Structure 1
Amino acid sequence: PVQNINYAYQVFPAILCVLLYSQLEKFFNKISPKVIRSFFVPMMSLLITVPITLLVLGPIGYNFGQGFAGVILFVFGKFGWIAVAILAAFLPFMVVTGMHKAMIPYVITSLGQSGRELIYNAASLAHNISEAGGCFAVSIRTKDKALRSTAVSAGISALFGITEPALYGVTILHKRVLYGVMIGAFTGGAFLGAQAVEAYVAVGPGIASLSMFISETLPNNLMNAIMGLGVSFVASFIAVSVLWKEEAPSKEAEKVENNKEKFNAPLEGELIPLSEVKDEVFSNKLMGEGFAIIPSKGELYAPIDGTIEMIFETKHSLAMKSEEGTEILFHVGLDTVNLKGKYFNPEVSVGKSVKKGDLLLSFDLDKIIAEGFDPVTATIITNRPDAKIGTVESKKVTKKDNVFEIN
């Protein structure tokens, strides 16, 4: 039977829904013509996703969450305090995926039936304060100023029961912090579970909401909650302080930060900045950054290792892609498209791999000049608008000279 579920408070079904939609979107993008893609792809993806989510994926996600809550209750019934400790340790994962929402019906039911709740709120208190302890430990141990600032503000927020800034800003980004928080949450949860700390209101546990543990029949309940708070904070703080290790930048990050592509001159002649080219398309850099050369010899060479991507039908222009993915356009002469290929002879074909210094194109420089065309040749980087480019200075160059660098 179809279940009547309030999906506004369910996250796991939404995750399943988006996973299905993403796959359908990829499929319809492949098979649909580009002209109808903008409306056809979302329409077809939703036509399939919505009913499948309502009839299948939604109930699966909901029942999975309910089943998880049932497991917690079963463990608590069998092992008592250990259930609180285990739940507290796994709350980072539950909050990140939204599965902690599956515990809300249990909390409301428990409070409605008996006026008290012994598992989730205690575990949540241990987890929330452990996030705070872990963040403050990071703020002391890290040398990263940005991370320190994030950890301090997230730690303060966690003390008051709001853990998302700590989770997304610190904990799940650093596995050693995650381990330390889990240790602190488990330790604090074990203490609170062993003391059978009861909650009487359904709110997020934190310093400002400790009154939720005030009991008329258990005078030590609030004190035990405060002690559990302290145990969670101290255990997490110590665990993260011991486990913390400043993470070095990954090799890929170092490569991105430090690697520079170095381009040799693609022609022999006089190197000039693009701004001096007598064509606004090039001088105003409408196609991208680059440089230009007034050639003294009718040969165009590969300035870097890569692959030939395009040869214009009139042969005066060609493009290549470097091994790092930088796309480079060569345009020999101004308005030379009007020569319709005369005087140009490509030495490579599309798809051919080339090495730095390989001959790409030969052209009759004297005849091009005799026809009244400006032979200045522009080299344009077409797909790196955000790249940092070295200064181009006017000078005589050969194909062995390094003239251009790009980060």
Structure 2
Amino acid sequence: MDINQTAKQIVSFIGGKENVAHLEHCSTRLRFTLKNDDLVKKEELEKVDGVIGVRQNVQCQVIIGNDVVEVYKQVQKELGELETTGVNRKKSKQSWGAIFLDFIISIFQPLIPAIAGGGILKSLLLLVSVSGVMSTESQTYQILNLIGGAPLYFLPILVAMTTAKKLNVNQLVAVSAVGTLLLPEMTTLLSSGSTFLGFGVENIAYASQVFPAILTVLFYSQVERVFTRFSPKAIRIFFVPMMSLLITVPIALLILGPLGYNVGMAFSGVIVWLYSHLGWLATAILASVLPLMVVTGMHKAMVPYAVSSMSELGAELLYLPASLAHNIAESGACFAVSLRTKDSKLRSTAISAGISALFGITEPALYGVTILHKRVLYSVMFSSLIGGAVAGIFAIKSFALVGPGLASITMFVDADNAMNIVWAFVTLAISFAVAFVTVLVFFKEQAEISLEKSVDEEFLTSPIEGKVIALSEVKDDVFSSGMVGKGIAIVPETSELVAPEDGEVTMLFDTYHALGFKTANGAEILFHIGIDTVKLEGKYFESFVKVGDKIKRGEKMIHFDLQAIQEAGYDPTVICVVTNQESYQVDSYHVYETVSNTAEVLSISPIK
């Protein structure tokens, strides 16, 4: 992958750098907050070398995989300094809930590397202490422990930075306002029952708290904007920060801090409620639905809860144990697919994705394997349910906020419970084994759609590799209206049209851009390569079949020069429709997904 070229194309297809309001990244994705979501060219973006997939909901998420950091840095260079002041964002019918989630993700996502790094360091220290390698009384241990605990202690400062960046206000002043709550002298004053202007100030230890910081910066942002608007320009440089601090900090001490503290306590109370009412079942259920949450990016909504739980309780009992079960189930499923598949491309993808999932990164597995094969998805969900149940029954705790996997397993080391990490290993082993065996037994490339296939029902695999789209999106009224027949269209990534099923060639245009095909159950299929490509008069097309030929699934029928057709200004979309549709029930699968020739995309059943 040419990272420079990848970055340039990504920026181009998201609407240019002028369309970017905010950029961050997680372990596998670039996360763009855009000014106008309608400018994204999703199909072109998905074809960029190095891009695994694209998801648009509260943010435009470009899934990169293990090279995300390198691509992120290059994209940053392409974007330069982002201009967000005074911008009115145009969103595609986003609800207030979606806007709120975008705000929360933008605040908490950048925190994870620091929290994860510190957490893993502390868990490694716990491991060496319980194994007797280093005493907890030694100064070396204590210094290293302080280093590991620093990100969590200074969470209010880190949150102030990310919140101020998201709100596009002065980060240093925002940090100063929140930092006041952490001053040793302030802590001493609060503990002695202080008052401010006659009002009592609640004694709260603000270290490790996140919600007081968020509320404080939200309030500060409004105060800053008011004083910036009305302050004379000659004194603005000191007057605005001075007045903002003068008003914000007392309000934070009297109102916002206590309010945020109680919000954090409520978040931590969620886990107590879940365990008191659902017990281990809560972990099992969450683990089973995590594949669907990760695909849509909604798992990030769990991060504020996890951060709050970690800061309030010093551990997390629900999300991270459930994630351990899901991550390892993805790995086991991928390795099983690599053994069962005959598709060399899928095998390669499955092996690399399985390794990645084993170490806690599941997006390559999800987008490259799981969601493309329904039996794999169901197997992963079932295996995650079992693994999550084990984690819940033994109530394993996590002590670091990082993607659970083999490399980060020390996050489950508990100084007060030596069995905690043992049960984590048990969860890992069971999740992997159940997923591996389940997929090994049930995965079948040619029968991914239905467990009960009728005698007359035909399943057509994709005639070409590419992205499946709905027929209604074809830029030709004759096909998009369904006048010719029911079916699908595919935006091709390769140049060879192959037989999707055993059958007979019944028609072949002289220009080779269209071909008729009849399946064993009598369904008549029309393949049409490109829009208006008849005008090319056969140029760039080559046929390997003739009328009357009986061919097998996967045999090459037509070759065309994809690049030349595109350069000539033609849409290369391949259309596949059942022309005698009145006699058949036609169902499509994998719409809006990128598929290989082994994926079944149509089922055709005679109407009886």
Give the alignment's TM-score, normalised by structure 1: 0.54
Distance 1:51 1:157, change over 3 A: closer
1:204 aligned partner: 403
Q: Which residue of 2 aligns with 1:328?
A: 534
* CA drift at 1:17: 8.9
1:180 and 2:403 aligned: no
Report how far residue 242 of structure 1 moved. 2.0
Match in the other structure for 1:297: none
Q: Equivalent of 1:388, from 542, 558, 566?
A: 542
State the alpha-carbon separation in 2 of the partners of residues 247 and 70 from structure 1: 47
Cα separation, 1, equivalents of 2:92 and 2:382: 42
Distance in 1 between the 2:95 and 2:293 partners?
23
Q: Contact 1:262 / 1:406 at 8 angstroms: preserved in 2?
A: no
What code does the residue aligned with 1:388 have? E
Q: How far apart, CA to CA, are the structure 2 residues paired with 1:243 and 1:72?
A: 37
Q: After superposition, what is the alpha-carbon deviation per residue over 1:22-62, rounded to whole angstroms, capped at 9, x for unaligned?
A: 89xxxxxxxxxxxxxxxxxxxxxx96725975967413777
How many pairs align?
A: 260
What residue in structure 1 maps to residue 352 of structure 2? 153
Match 2:99 to one of 52, 58, 68 = 58
Name the CA distance, whole Å, in 1 between partners of 2:352 and 2:378: 20
Question: Residue 253 in 1 paired to residue 452 in 2?
Answer: no
Superposed displacement of residue 186, structure 1: 0.6
Q: 1:209, CA displacement in angstroms?
A: 0.6
The answer (yes or no) to whether the contact 1:161–1:205 under 8 Å persists in 2 is: yes
1:147 Cα deviation from its structure 2 partner:
1.5
Please list, as runs of the form range in 1=range in 2, the aligned pairs for 1:220-239 lying within 5 A after superposition: 220-239=419-438
Give the corresponding residue for 1:336.
none
Alpha-carbon distance, 1:251 to partner: 2.2
Residue 262 of structure 1 corresponds to 508
Runs of at least 5 residues in structure 1 that lack an aligned partner in the other structure: 1-5, 24-45, 265-288, 291-302, 306-321, 330-378, 392-404
Deviations along 1:266-324, one digit per CA (max 9) or x if unpaired, are xxxxxxxxxxxxxxxxxxxxxxx89xxxxxxxxxxxx999xxxxxxxxxxxxxxxx977
Q: 1:167 to 1:146 in 2, by over 3 A?
A: same
Return closer, same or farther for 1:252/1:191 CA change in 2, 3 Å cut-off: closer
Cα pair 1:17 1:58 within 8 Å, conserved: no
Deviations 1:42-100 (A, max 9, x none): xxxx9672597596741377799x9xx99984544411111101111111111111111
Structure 2 CA distance for aligned equivalents of residues 328 and 156 of structure 1? 46
- Give the Cα separation in 1 of the matches to 2:36 and 2:328: 32
Q: Is residue 72–residue 83 contact of structure 1 (8 Å, CA) maintained in 2?
A: no
Q: 1:126 aligned to 318, 325, 338, which one?
A: 325
Whole-Å separation in 2 of the counterparts to 1:131 and 1:121: 15
Question: TM-score scaled by structure 2?
Answer: 0.37
Q: Are 2:287 and 2:381, in contact at CA under 8 Å, matched by a contact in 1?
A: yes
User: Residues 223-261 of structure 1: CA distance to partner in whole angstroms, max 9, x if unpaired?
Assistant: 111111111111111221222112269526349423686
Q: Distance in 2 between matches of 1:18 and 1:127?
A: 34
Indicate the structure whose relative CO is greater, using CA pairs within 8 Å and at least 6 residues apart.
Answer: 1
SS at match of 1:167: helix
Matched-pair contact (CA < 8 Å) for 2:38–2:92: no
**In structure 2, how many angstroms separate the alpha carbons of the residues matched to 1:180 and 1:163?**
15
Q: CA deviation at 1:7?
A: 8.8
Distance in 1, Cα, partners of 2:35 & 2:544: 47
Q: How far does residue 156 in structure 1 lie from its aligned partner after superposition?
A: 1.2
- Report the CA distance shift for 1:242/1:52 in structure 2 as closer, same or farther (over 3 A): closer
Shift of the 78–7 alpha-carbon distance from structure 1 to 2, 3 Å rule, reads farther
Give the match for residue 277 of structure 1. none
Secondary structure in 2 matching 1:251: strand
Whole-angstrom CA distance in 1 between matches of 2:283 and 2:506: 53
Contact 1:389 1:406 in 2 (8 A): yes
Closer, same or farther: CA 20–57 of 1 in aligned 2, 3 Å: farther
Take 1:304 and 1:121, find their aligned partners in 2: how far apart are those partners?
53
How far did residue 145 of structure 1 move?
2.0
Q: Percent identity?
A: 41
- Alignment of structure 1 residues 6-405 onto 2, 5 Å: 49-50=90-91, 57-59=98-100, 73=271, 75-247=274-446, 250-251=459-460, 253-254=462-463, 256-258=497-499, 262-263=508-509, 327-329=533-535, 380-381=537-538, 385=540, 387-389=541-543
| Alpha-carbon distance, 1:9 to partner | 7.8
SS at 2:498 equivalent: helix
Q: Provide the aligned C-alpha RMSD in A.
A: 4.3
The SS at the match of 1:388 is strand
**1:88, 1:182 within 8 Å by CA — same for their partners in 2?**
yes
- In structure 2, relative to structure 1, the CA distance for the partners of 1:238 and 1:107 (3 Å cut) is same
* In structure 2, C-alpha distance between the alignment counterparts of 1:245 and 1:70, rounded to whole Å: 44
Q: Which residue identity lines up with residue 59 of structure 1 in the other structure?
A: F
Structure 2 residue identity aligned to 1:221: N
Residue of structure 1 equivalent to 2:67: none
Cα distance in structure 1, aligned partners of 2:413 and 2:371: 33
Per-residue deviation, 1:171: 0.6
SS at match of 1:143: coil
Structure 2 distance, partners of 1:166, 1:115, is 31
Output the amino acid matched with 2:338: S
Deviation at 1:164, TM superposition (A): 1.1
Output the CA distance in 1 between the equivalents of 2:35 and 2:282: 31
Matched with 1:351 is none
Give the AA of the match of 1:328.
Answer: V
Contact kept? 1:124, 1:205, Cα under 8 Å? yes
- The structure that has the greater radius of gyration is 1
Contact preservation (8 Å) 1:16, 1:61: no
Change (3 A) 1:257 1:223: same
Contact 1:260-1:406 at 8 Å conserved across structures:
no
